[in-house]
Chains A and B, each alone.
Chain A
Amino acid sequence: MTYKQMAVFLIICAVQILLGNWVGAQHGLTVWGADGAASAAALFQDAIPGILVLLAIIAAGVFVHYIIPWKGLPAVAYIVTIGCIVTIPGFPYAEQLTAWVSKINFVGLCTPILAYAGLAVGKDIGILKKQGWRIVLVGLFVFVGTFVGSAVIAELVLRAMK
């Protein structure tokens, strides 16, 4: 994917995230009352600085990935690291940045992402049919094993640390 294509798609995504976030923030249609329109507009505006901050973090991450000659880490690794650094308390404007991005609900952010993933998933069903139900079953057990294994160790270490 070229950087231009990436930029275009990031803007499409940003619009979807803003709208999804807006609908989610109103908890359904409860704001559509007599004076609902004004508060709905305010809700929408509140999220705009947050999405711009996220876009800036993404741009910075992609840029760092571009200038560093070693390509061992994917761009998302730099994006998550930069997002972390700029919001550590003590970093210039960290509190302001945190306040802005907190208007973007992080679980709601996943809704459009999973919508795209869902639209794409149909092409994998054929592979799944070919490989059979046994591997699917093993896969589900694998996810249980990872989750429970990690949770047990984390719990024991946390208790030991107390």
Chain B
Amino acid sequence: MNIVDRALKNWKLHVLALVLTVIAELIGTISFDVGPAKLVMIPLLYAFILGALCGIPALKLLTHDDMVQTSSLVSVTFFFLMARYGTLVGPSFWKVVQSAPALILQEFGNIGTVFFGIPIAVLLGLRREAVGAAFSNAREPNIAIVGEKYGMDTPEGIGVMGVYVTGTVFGALFCSFLSSFIASTMSSFFSPQALAMACGTGSASMMSASLAPLTEMWPDLKDELAALASASNMCSGLDGVYMCVFLSLPISEWLVRVCGVKDAPSRPAGNAEAAAN
């Protein structure tokens, strides 16, 4: 039986997801002060953490096979989110168009990862891995780029996969804390609109997680912020690949040399592998 069929018939997964959803929604949004920052905890974070806890081997709740089955379904769950995000942009469409210059130019901010990430990666002792790890936020299209240019069984491939998995495991949690921290401590500099645009980096789950604290802090602007964040996320999805190939990857190559890593770039093992990626 095909893995998706097995996943669909695995009622344990769907009942667990439902129970976690209900528990998470019952807890509801909690915000509390940590020093100068205001942290906003939202139901999606509890759902994710509880789901991850279900996977602890000692609990014997989920087998490895259950997890592999679940991951075959995850991409389709995002269809609802994308449909809903489209309907958020629509009503504010003209407002979003008015903000187009900011929306387009802030895409260049994604290059911020390079100047921030590469030096730190080299400082931590990574070598060619630094290029794969820090040239982007390592979502699916970026993995494809690395696979084609360097191959996956290379230091660059290990770098991009490492950050990809980091994003899957910690991305939503971390981005939520990051945006509530920055929004509550630096709101004298950043407008909520600018922060909303920064939420869209090409990952729907990270965008939602970082957007939620903003809508809690500025409930009156809820619809506008959601529209800007989704529009920015759409832009990242469209231009992200070009941005990486023509800008952030070349800059990473240059910067990693400046930081003292002179190893030659890896090559894909064979044409077959390059084509497969």
Instruction: List residues of A whose CB falls within 8 A of some B CB.
Output: 1-2, 5-6, 8-10, 12-17, 19-21, 23-24, 27-29, 53-54, 57-58, 61-62, 75-77, 79-89, 91, 94, 97-98, 101, 104, 106-125, 127-128, 131-132, 134-155, 157-158, 161
Tell whether, in the assembled complex, residue B21 and residue A112 are in contact, meaning their CB atoms are under 8 Å apart: yes
Beyond A140-B166, A140-B170, whether A83 also contacts B178 by CB under 8 A is no
What's the minimum C-beta distance from A87 to chain B, rounded to whole angstroms? 3
CA distance A128 to B195 in the complex (A): 30
**Chain B minimum-CB-distance residue to A125:** B169
The 8 closest A-B pairs by CB, nearest first: A149-B112, A83-B86, A118-B51, A122-B55, A87-B90, A135-B162, A150-B109, A139-B166
Beyond A141-B116, A158-B102, whether A119 also contacts B16 by CB under 8 A is yes
Q: Which of A21, A98, A111, A132 contacts B47 (CB 8 A)?
A: A111
Is residue B145 within 8 Å, beta carbon to beta carbon, of the partner chain?
no
Q: Which of A81, A119, A144 contacts B62 (CB 8 A)?
A: A119
Interface of A is mostly: helix
Tell whether, in the assembled complex, residue A142 and residue B21 are in contact, meaning their CB atoms are under 8 Å apart: no
Tell whether, in the assembled complex, residue B66 and residue A119 are in contact, meaning their CB atoms are under 8 Å apart: yes
Tell whether, in the assembled complex, residue B198 and residue A154 are in contact, meaning their CB atoms are under 8 Å apart: yes
Number of interface residues of B (CB under 8 A): 128
Tell whether, in the assembled complex, residue B129 and residue A153 are in contact, meaning their CB atoms are under 8 Å apart: no
Tell whether, in the assembled complex, residue A16 and residue B14 are in contact, meaning their CB atoms are under 8 Å apart: yes
Is residue B45 within 8 Å, beta carbon to beta carbon, of the partner chain?
yes
Is residue B84 within 8 Å, beta carbon to beta carbon, of the partner chain?
yes
CA distance A119 to B51 in the complex (A): 4
Tell whether, in the assembled complex, residue B77 and residue A116 are in contact, meaning their CB atoms are under 8 Å apart: yes
Is residue B244 within 8 Å, beta carbon to beta carbon, of the partner chain?
no
B contact residues around A139 at 8 Å (CB): 133, 138, 162-163, 166-167, 170
| Interface pick from B67-75, B254-262, B265-273 | B67-75
CA distance A108 to B56 in the complex (A): 26
Tell whether, in the assembled complex, residue B25 and residue A116 are in contact, meaning their CB atoms are under 8 Å apart: no
Tell whether, in the assembled complex, residue B90 and residue A86 are in contact, meaning their CB atoms are under 8 Å apart: yes
CA distance A119 to B17 in the complex (A): 8
**Chain B minimum-CB-distance residue to A27:** B28
